[in-house]
Amino acid sequence: MSTVATDVMIRPFRSLDLHPVIDIARSHELVESHRVANWSSLWLNSESCMVVLYQHAVRAYCVAYTSGFCMYFGLAVHPDYLRHGIGTAIVDYLKDRLDPKRRPWLIALVKERDLRTQLFFKSQGFLARYHCKDLRGEDVYAFDFERKQ
């Protein structure tokens, strides 16, 4: 059974959130220093980016977009705040936005070498159904969750 942090607030990304988000991404090796400018413009122009406030500071972020019957998303939590229920709060927030008739699927891509994240998604009811390569050629699993009626 997973726990959900009680004092979590999820809100849309604002430009003042950029530096904490980049710090979180760097801590997970999701963005290289020389690509920060390109990554920043992506965030500032996206409407589907959310940040998670925990203890009055940005501790995690989520990028979600929809395509057809699916909602694809990625998330990252600050390493010092793992296992505080923040990731569970994000996933629950996204699950609540699924519609069994219009958009029943929630999908996350997880690197094959990232066992901790794979176990997290399994604990949230996701199943690893597909194996593919990401844009960098790394092996990833597509974890999905289906909202039933």
| Per-residue model confidence as pLDDT tens digits over 64-75 | 888 888 888 888
Cα(113)–Cα(117) distance, integer angstroms:
9
The angle subtended at Cα 115 by Cα 67 and Cα 94, nearest 5°, is 35
pTM of the model: 0.82
Q: What is the pLDDT of residues 84-136, one digit of tens each?
A: 999 999 999 999 988 888 888 999 988 898 899 999 999 999 999 889 887 88
**What band does 1 get if pLDDT is binned at 50, 70 and 90?**
very low
Q: Could you give the angle at the alpha carbon of 101 between the alpha carbons of 74 and 50, nearest 5°?
A: 25
What residues does 142 pair with on adjacent strands? 109, 130
- Helical pair 36-44 and 18-27, crossing angle rounded to 10 deg: 130
Q: How far apart are CA 61 and CA 77, in angstroms?
A: 7
CA distance 45 to 49: 9
